[in-house]
Amino acid sequence: MQSFFKGKKILITGACGTIGRELVRQLLEDFDISELIGIDNNESELFFLEQTFSKHPQAHFFLADIRDKDKVERAARDMNVIFHTAAFKHVILCERSPFEAVQTNILGIQNIISAAIHNGVKNVVFTSSDKAVNPTNVMGTSKLMGERLITAANSNARGQGPLFSSTRFGNVLGSRGSVIPIFREQIRNGGPVTLTDPEMTRFIMSIREAVRLVIDSSFLMKGGEVFITKMPVIRIKDLAEVMIEQLASEYGHRPGDISIEIIGTKPGEKMYEELMNIEETRRSIELPRYFAVMPAFKGLYRSIQYEYPEVLSDKVTNPYHSGNETPLTKAQLKEFLVQNQLLHEDPEICKHPQERYWP
């Protein structure tokens, strides 16, 4: 993989987001790339990002919105690889303003596709979401449409045109808006810790791991497929209890004094998390760290051989969702949180409020 990235020019959209920022860090610190361009429409965060990586002369950061087709096309000029992470991700806000989600999560992706084709980019990786599987809300629907646009772009590509693929993963623990910072603030303030439903399960992974797997996808991709990351499963109730046990005393509280309050699920929220549905199993293969879902409609103008190193199985029979998988024990969950340094604040992520807003 080092040889794949050596001398490459990389464009990252959404560079100020949780995934985008970690992509910037890993690519600059771990790979010998010749240039990295990061774009985002968050002026203040972009300013701080530029200060953080000021010692890397090959890194350049620009204000840009992926809705601006011309600006995206200029940013993609001479690039070899695009990692597209820019998106609206908050379910409630997308429900309230659905066309805003359409303009960023769907039309924005088409702008990325057009820019890649126009500039002869070699590889484009779109970071999708578990919410794209059997979507129940606007955000998930927009992410699913993004995957479809990426697959169609690959199907329609001619000759030596770009390769397009998606990578789909679940909850990135510790990211902005995730439940860990909320639970932490609630524990700091003596509780209660608010839980939607004690039976709810989720896939989890760390930010560092999520990004390394996104990078892997750009190396493994053949074009048009969706890479689904294998992830451990937890009960959200176990997460709340482990965090109380580990953090209460640090904030001057006894664990037994911090209660858990059940507040009910959000509108459109699932009890379990889906990463691959039953229809997709029929065209999937299993790799050591992924499932790879082949496109339903193959390339129109070029033949693609979907061959990968270390194929475990070319037959997948079970949908991949958290309700089917065995959750981590509380001891395993504690070890995961400690190993990935997820219990305490990340100084680069802003402090979270303790309230959970249900409109």
DSSP for 113-153, written as a single string? HHHHHHHT-SEEEEE--GGGSS--SHHHHHHHHHHHHHHHH
H or E stretch including 296?
Answer: none
Distance (Å, whole) CA 206 – CA 224: 26
pTM, full prediction:
0.89
| Predicted local confidence at residue 169, as pLDDT | 85
Parallel/antiparallel/unpaired status of strands 226-229 and 290-293: antiparallel
| Amino acid identity at 11 | L
Contact 108, 145 (CB under 8 A): no
Residue-wise pLDDT for 91-121, tens only, equals 889 999 999 999 999 999 999 999 999 999 9
The active-site residue, picked from 8, 9, 89, 131, is 131
Q: What is the pLDDT of residue 346?
A: 61
Contacts made by residues 262-265, CB under 8 angstroms, sequence distance 24+: 262/195, 262/196, 262/197, 262/198, 263/194, 263/195, 263/196, 263/356, 263/358, 264/196, 264/197, 264/358, 265/196, 265/197, 265/200
Given a contact cutoff of 8 angstroms between Cβ atoms, the answer to whether 201 and 327 are in contact is yes
Residue 220 in tokens? 């493994």
Amino acid at position 344, single letter: H
Q: Under a CB-based contact definition with an 8 Å cutoff, are residues 301 and 158 in contact?
A: yes
DSSP state at residue 250: G
- Counting DSSP H helices and E strands in the chain, the numbers are 13, 16
330 catalytic residue (yes or no): no
Alpha helices in the chain (DSSP H): 2-5, 18-30, 43-52, 69-75, 91-96, 98-101, 108-119, 138-156, 179-188, 207-220, 236-247, 278-281, 330-339
| Cβ pair 316, 284 in contact under 8 A | yes
For position 343, what pLDDT does the model report? Answer: 86
pLDDT tens for the chain, 359 residues: list them: 788 999 999 999 999 999 999 999 999 999 999 999 999 999 999 999 999 999 999 999 999 999 999 999 999 999 999 999 999 998 889 999 999 999 999 999 999 999 999 999 999 999 999 899 999 899 999 999 999 999 999 999 888 889 999 999 887 877 766 788 899 999 999 999 999 999 999 998 888 888 998 999 999 999 999 999 899 999 999 999 999 999 999 999 999 999 999 998 877 778 888 999 999 999 999 999 999 999 988 788 888 999 998 999 999 999 999 988 999 999 999 999 999 888 887 655 444 445 544 44
Q: To 5 degrees, how large is the angle CA 289–CA 294–CA 298?
A: 155
Long-range contact list for 43-51, CB < 8 A, 24+ apart? Answer: 45/16, 46/15, 46/16, 49/15, 49/16, 49/21, 49/24
How far apart, in Å, do the first and last CA atoms of the chain sit?
Answer: 46
The torsion region of residue 320 among left (phi > 0), alpha (psi -120 to 50) and beta comes to: beta
- pLDDT of the residue at 67: 98
